[in-house]
Chains A and B, each alone.
Chain A
Amino acid sequence: MAKALDPHAAIVTEAAGPDEGGTLRTADGRPLKQALVRSSRRARRRAFLLVLPLLLFILITFVVPIGQMLQRSVKNDGFSANMPSLSAWFHENPRGTEPDDAAWAALAEDLQAAAKARTIGVVGTRINYDMPGTRSLFTSAGRKARSGVEPPYKEAILEMDQKWGDPKLWSVMREASSPYTSNFYLAAVDRTRDEQGDIVSAPAQQQIYVKLFMRTFWLSLVITFMTFLLGFPIAHLLATLPMRRSNLLMILVLLPFWTSLLVRTTAWMVLLQQQGVVNDVLVWLGVIGNNQRLQMIFNQTGTIIAMTHILLPFMILPLYSVMRTINPSYVRAARSLGATSWTAFRRIYFPQTLPGLGAGALLVFILAVGYYITPALVGGSSGQLISNMIAMHMTQTLNWSMAAALAALLLAGVLVLYWVYDRLVGIDNLKLG
């Protein structure tokens, strides 16, 4: 940040005026700029040494794992490592070559070897990612191949299962014969490759990720806005109340942090379900009829309510810390200068809260984009976010490459957002507390 008075400038207070060339020089004749750079370099080096431990920590616990994740999203050698002969054949013969005897022989050899090494399941899983429903083809072929496959290989294998002749299967196996692939990223944006290897849209019923990404970003925006709407007045109250009462209020604000997730979830269910408190009250008040009870949990509404609740402190705290430093005399000055209280708020108070608001909004949005557990518990099927999909690939389908590709896209999205924020507002305007 540029300070008006740079302490290092003191070194050159005796600077002689501009010389013939127009550059300022210090008393001993060095150019002023150079002297400034030199004098600040040592301070910078010392500062760097201080942060070195943290840098190493971040490198080991953050940068390296993320690097590995990114690598996993483009690398999967489940097929290429366990089917070496067939991979070699794909390598030698260009796309479009009909599988010849050598190819069938290589397949038979690899099937037998993989079956013996018990890696046939891994191979099947890898092909299954790109062509659902093919895992059992590999496992059953492996089982049969263990007792030996006699030439002619083509007929022998086709006899195991006619599907082995499917050109799509061969196209997919060709894709998988190289350990590096962009297929996971394609799948993450609802694309796939056809038999010719060209990129096409995935079948309509498999197009889920783009919609989920959109929903994630949209819901995160809504949640960010809700936390702003609810958090701004509370932060203002916190900043202006006398200390003792504001402390009490602060405890209430932080309460969501201190309650266990299960307690919170149960509370939301009690409140929001169709036979719950909120619906009961609405019916009792006559706002809605008994048969019109609202569905407020296990859908998007549930996700929005629950996540707004849990993320509210992240909006309030930065706002509060900024508001506390805003002297009330600014608003008074504005009023005495002729501004109505609304104008004073809009032109004087609100702009001064922007650093806190920016920090809070960025924080809430980024947390919301990656949120997993709350949507999983109260989101139903329409309130699921992209993280739930990532979690599913991590824990259920075990397609870590897919999870990594989705996570990498999410990361990219957040970085883009950060960049946009920097361009629009300036990251140095951020104030977290």
Chain B
Amino acid sequence: MVTAQPGNDAFVVFDHVQKSYDGQTLVVKDLNLTIGKGEFLTMLGPSGSGKTTCLMMLAGFETATHGEIRLDGKNINDVPPHKRGIGMVFQNYALFPHMTVGENLSFPLEVRGMTKSERESRIARALDMVQMGQFKNRRPAQLSGGQQQRIALARALVFDPKLVLMDEPLGALDKQLREHMQFEIKALHDRLGITVVYVTHDQGEALTMSDRIAVFNDGRIQQLAPPAVLYEQPENSFVAGFIGENNALRGKIEQLQDDKALVRLGNGDLIDATAVNIRETGQETTVSIRPERVEFKPELMPAGAHTLEAHVVDVIYMGDILRARLKVAGQDDFVMKYRNTLGQVKLTPGQTIRIGWHPEDARALDPV
């Protein structure tokens, strides 16, 4: 995977950008984001968190209420969309229905005043790139969803933009096709070295494709990090809960030493955790632990670790793993995942076990 070094050459910069549609509420609140050249950056977040708005401001279809957007060092706040040279793939593809595939691809080249022969060669190259060479004379309505998606991609790339924006481009495809296209888009990105800003609310898609992911919520970026960091070291409760499966235990900081925290849960039990965004003892906190980092065999826990009593509520067989739902500290939505190995201990509902974890895997975050 080509991992761009963010910040090294700032290609796209959002500088204190704010956006309001109605003059009363801020849809985008103080957005600061630097995207490096050749980077694949994904904006991920729940519906209504302002992802499309950011993309539209970058494409030039919405104006920033405050702040500055720079592309390749130049302020583009007042540059109209057609002069920005940004390729865009829309969620519904927006292929022109009255034109053939070839004419669709020809359009951006015609408006740039290219000669016919140059257009032909570029169209052929772009269609080959998405393996759609023989569909040049079809109309969009005569293509399947996946084929339309490829044409939309080819059209956004045919005029060699340096930056390509994609707003949930795979949202309308079924799971299998979506996974296939994820792979192809990623391969194209690596091959062409273009910068991609990708919007999705499918976290699996974001994790597999991106160099970095910006998690949006409530008009703010909650965390901006590569996929592995985002998953393993969420910086706040929203990110921990939004990405992957997560156990959240509420409690109060009992003791704080550097980043080592001792948390007392509601039922009086004590657990170990790593302090992330808490500052002092006595503070309310939510401790986040990934289900696959929970251990129930004493030999796998670090020496001297605090353990908790847990009642097995049910166990679901998922093939490669087993998923046990536990009742812990009064909450019965605690999940533990463990590998389905030969001779694995069999847990049965109603059984009582003791669970624990490495302190680094339990992150004491802001209370929710």
Contacts and interface: CB of A to CB of B under 8 A. Distances in A.
A, B assembled together: yes
27 contacts: A327-B94, A329-B90, A329-B94, A330-B94, A332-B94, A333-B96, A335-B80, A335-B81, A335-B82, A336-B60, A336-B81, A336-B84, A336-B165, A337-B82, A337-B87, A337-B107, A337-B155, A337-B156, A338-B82, A338-B159, A339-B107, A339-B108, A339-B111, A344-B82, A348-B96, A351-B98, A352-B98
Interface residues on B, range: 20 to 34
Contacts of A340: 80, 82, 111
Contacts of A330: 94, 96
B122 to A, nearest CB: 13
Interface string A344-355: 100110011000
A337 B108 contact: yes
B86 interface: yes
A340 B85 CA distance: 12
Interface residues of A, number: 20
Nearest to B91: A329
A336 B88 contact: yes
Given A338-B112, A351-B98, A333 B90 contact: yes
Contacts of A337: 82, 87, 107-108, 111, 155-156, 159
A4 interface: yes
A333 B87 CA distance: 9
A349 to B, nearest CB: 10
Given A330-B96, A332-B61, A338 B90 contact: no
A120 B108 CA distance: 79
A337 B158 CA distance: 10
Interface in A352-381: 352
Nearest to A350: B98
Contact of A336 (B87, B96, B112, B142): B87
A352 B90 CA distance: 19
Contacts of A332: 59, 61, 81, 88, 90, 94
Contact of A327 (B86, B92, B155): B92
A341 B83 CA distance: 11
A347 B97 CA distance: 12
A334 interface: yes
B97 to A, nearest CB: 7
Contacts, number: 67
Given A335-B82, A338-B82, A4 B142 contact: yes
A395 interface: no
A338 B96 contact: no
B200 to A, nearest CB: 17
A329 B107 contact: no
Contacts of B353: none
Interface in B120-143: 141-142
B61 A335 contact: yes
A324 B255 CA distance: 63
Contacts of A4: 141-142
Interface in A1-23: 4
A290 interface: no
A73 B239 CA distance: 84
A65 B92 CA distance: 51
A330 B91 CA distance: 11
Interface of B: 59-61, 80-88, 90, 92, 94, 96-98, 107-108, 111-112, 141-142, 155-156, 159, 165
A343 interface: yes
A352 B94 CA distance: 13
Contacts of A351: 98
Contacts of A327: 92, 94
A332 B60 CA distance: 10
Contacts of B97: 352
A336 B111 contact: no
Contacts of B96: 330, 333-334, 348, 352
Which of B87, B98, B142, B165: most chain A CB closer than 10 A?
Answer: B98
A338 B88 contact: no
Nearest to B61: A332
Nearest to A326: B97
A361 to B, nearest CB: 18
A347 B99 CA distance: 10
B157 to A, nearest CB: 11
User: Among A327, A334, A335, A336, which residue has the most Cβ atoms of chain B within 10 A?
Assistant: A336
B93 to A, nearest CB: 9
Nearest to B86: A336
Interface string A307-342: 000000000000000000001011011111111110
A347 B107 contact: yes
Contacts of B92: 327, 329
B366 to A, nearest CB: 38
Given A4-B142, A334-B96, 12 more contacts: A327-B92, A329-B92, A335-B81, A336-B165, A337-B82, A337-B111, A338-B85, A338-B108, A341-B82, A347-B107, A348-B96, A351-B98
Contacts of A348: 96
A357 B108 CA distance: 26
A327 B140 CA distance: 15
Contacts of B111: 337-340, 343
B88 to A, nearest CB: 4
Top-8 shortest CB links A-B: A337-B108, A333-B94, A336-B88, A329-B94, A335-B81, A4-B142, A338-B111, A339-B111
Nearest to B139: A4
B109 to A, nearest CB: 9
A337 B88 CA distance: 8
Contacts of A341: 82
A379 B60 CA distance: 52
A339 B98 CA distance: 17
